[in-house]
Amino acid sequence: MKVKPRLDPIVHAPNRLQLCAMLTEVDEGEFAALRDALDVSDSVLSKQLKVLEDAGYLKLTKTTIDSRVRTRARLTKAGRQAFAAHVAELQRIVAGAAAIAPGHPAAGEPIAATGDD
Amino acid sequence: METQEAQGRQRAEAAAALKQIADARAALAERTIPPWWWYPALGIWVCGCIATQTQKLGDWARIATVIACLVAMQWLIRAGVKATGFRGRWLDSGRERRWIIALALVVVALFLAGVALQAVWGWVGPVLVGIVAVPVVIVLGRLSDAAVRADVRRRA
C-alpha cells in the first residue's frame, strides 16, 4: 500500500496503535482475542474500538452464537491507509528524514495522541 | 539546539511506537497458530474427500458426499477461527500464499492419483491415496503456518 507518510493522532495512542498493527495483519479479530492479545480490560478495549469506529477506521460486527454476543473488529480501508501512513511517517522520523525547521509547528512538540489511552 | 532536541525526542518517540507495533505483531503471530488437532483434521478431511470423490458413486451418493465434504470444510474453517479468534487474510501474504498454492497443487495431484488408482485397484486405490494425504497435509499445513508467523514477524 503506497501512502503519503502522515502522523495520525487517532492511530497514535499506544493501545490503538497495537490494535491497528494486529488488525492490519488479519481480516478480522474477535473482541476476546484482541483483549487477551493486548492484555487490557473489556472496558479499555471497548473505548479504544469506539474511538477507531467513530473515526471510520474500524467496523464492528456483532453476532449472536449460542445466545452469546460475539463482537468482531475489522479495519476499514480508511483505517488501513491511516495506519500505513502513520507507520511510514514513524519510519521516516526514525530514519532521520524528518527535518523540522525552527518555527515549524511540530518543532518542540511531542507526537500527540487524541483521546485517552 | 532546541530543534535538535525536539528531533531527538521525536525520533525516540517514533522508535518506541515502532517497537509497540513490532510487539503487537509478534503477539499476534503466536496467537494465530491453530490448535494441534486442526491440521490432522484437515488431513482427514482431504483423505475423506479423495476416498469418496474418486469412487464410482451413484448420483445421490455423489451429492451426499459432496455436501458432507463442504459442510465439514465449513466447520473446520469456523473451528479454526473460533479457536484463534482471528480470521486471517493469509492469501495476501507472500510466502503463505505460496504454501497454500503448493498445498492445493499437492491435493489436486493426490486426487488425480486417486482417480488413476481407482481405475486399477478399485475402491482400495483412492483410500490408500487418502491415507497418504493425511501426513502430507499436516506437514505442508504446519510449514505454511510457520511461513505466516515468519511473515508477520518480518513486517514487525
pLDDT of B84-137, one tens digit each? 888 876 656 566 677 788 888 998 999 899 888 888 888 888 889 889 999 999
The conformation of residue A115, written as its DSSP 8-state character, comes to S
- Cβ atoms of A65 and B118 within 8 Å: the answer is no
Q: Could you tell me whether strands B86-88 and A58-65 are parallel, antiparallel, or unpaired per DSSP bridges?
A: unpaired
**Nearest by CB: A110 against B9, B28, B155:** B9
Cα separation, A13 vs A92, in Å, equals: 18
Query: Does residue B54 carry a pLDDT above 60?
Result: yes
Q: Is residue A66 part of a domain?
A: yes
> In B32-123, where does DSSP find H-type helix?
38-53, 59-84, 94-121
Q: Does residue A115 belong to any structural domain of this protein?
A: no
Report the number of distinct structural domains present in chain B: 1
Residue B8 lies in a domain: no
Number of domain units in chain A = 1
B41 lies in a domain? yes
Q: Is there a domain that residue B113 lies in?
A: yes
**Whole-number percent of chain B with pLDDT over 90:** 20
Tell me if A21 and B88 make a contact (CB, 8 A cut-off): no
Residue B106, domain extent: 32-155
Residue A29: closest CA among B152, B90, B84: B84
- For the record, the C-alpha cell of B21 comes out as 507495533
Q: Domain span at residue A75? A: 9-94
Alpha carbons B48 and B63: distance in angstroms, whole number: 14
**Model confidence band, residue B11 (pLDDT cutoffs 50, 70, 90):** confident
In this prediction the ipTM stands at: 0.79
- Cα distance between residue B121 and residue B63, in whole Å: 24
Angle between helices A31-38 and A14-23 (to 10 degrees): 130
Q: Do B17 and A111 touch (CB under 8 A)?
A: yes
Query: For position B29, what pLDDT does the model report?
Result: 81
